Amino acid sequence: MSENERPLRLLAVHAHPDDESSKGAPMMAKYLAEGHEVMVVSCTDGSRGDIQNPRILDAPHPLRDMAGARRLEMAAAQRVIGVQHRWLGFTDSGLPEGDPLPPLPWGSFATLPLEQAAAPLVRLMREFRPHVVVSYDENGGYPHPDHIMAHRIAVEAFHAAGKADAYPDAGEPWEPAKLYYDVPFNPDRVRRIHDALVAAGLESPYADWIAKAAENDAEGHRPWKSRHRVTTQVECSAYFAVRDRALAAHATQIDPDGWFFAVSLELREREWPWEDYSLMSSSVGGPAEGETETDLFAGLR
């Protein structure tokens, strides 16, 4: 960072511990390396997550205290990325299964009134004073109740934090300049990496995903596809390895032999060296229609 540049602040709002590592870790590491401040908010404790790693299915600690295990994992991932971190303090809602779907547990994050759930995030925004806020789209990135609620409170807090008459007990107003949604399932990225794997004679972990996406498109059903165009691509391939180490720190949630690590670091760096975002609100302008910016802090430096 040059002497004429001031450090800027970015706040990333996530539903569970591990979401910060699978979505945005390289981008955050890049901005930290430039001298900016980055904070991650985990809305819930992750207590209703299942053990996804078959290597530790019999581990007694997570089975006895999943929230405690995930707190330790989040601390490890935080050290890997280097971000500041805050817990918002809510209880994981879990991912309901069945037909019909069962009700969510009483008092869990996704069941709360919007203003009750957003109030601590408004307070945090007014304390940290971010210039940029990043969260999920209306579908939560994927339709998990806590992801959808994280989206809702991020948008609510982004617009309310600067208003003196909103949440009057939550500190001095601060107005963030830009709101972005991350686009973790960019179809162009998935197709590009899939084609590169096939061209190299390698098995693609995305083959079934692409086939299902084509079927959903034909039916007009697109549960994971963002409705917003990618406006911003942050080149951060030098930090993809940070993402891998941070993900591995969430040992209960990440299978080291699973699809998160099925594509080599070299191929990912070569074929899609960006992370993708949609600019949703800005007081400092944005890219023209059809253009793509390369910096979440564009207009603020």
Q: Which residues are annotated as a binding site for Zn(2+)?
A: 16, 19, 147
Handedness of CA 258, 276, 150, 120 (dihedral sign): positive
**85 CB contacts (<8 Å, ≥6 apart)?**
39, 40, 41, 42, 74, 75, 78
Q: How far is CA 102 from the centre of its chain?
A: 26
Alpha carbons 75 and 68: distance in angstroms, whole number: 11
**Do the Cβ atoms of 279 and 176 come closer than 8 Å?**
no
SS3 233: strand
Residue 53 contacts residue 254 (beta carbons within 8 Å): yes
Is the Cβ–Cβ distance between 228 and 135 less than 8 Å?
A: no
Other C-beta atoms lying within 10 Å of the C-beta of residue 177: 19
Structure tokens, 50: 């299942």
Q: Which residues line the annotated binding site?
A: 16, 19, 147
Structure-token match 């996530």, residue found: 14
Asked if 160 contacts 118 with a C-beta cutoff of 8 angstroms, the reply is yes
Pairing of strands 84-90, 37-44: parallel
Q: Which secondary-structure segment (H or E) carries 56?
A: none
**Terminal-to-terminal C-alpha distance of the chain:** 10
Give the ranges where 94-227 is alpha helix by DSSP (H).
114-128, 145-160, 187-199, 207-219
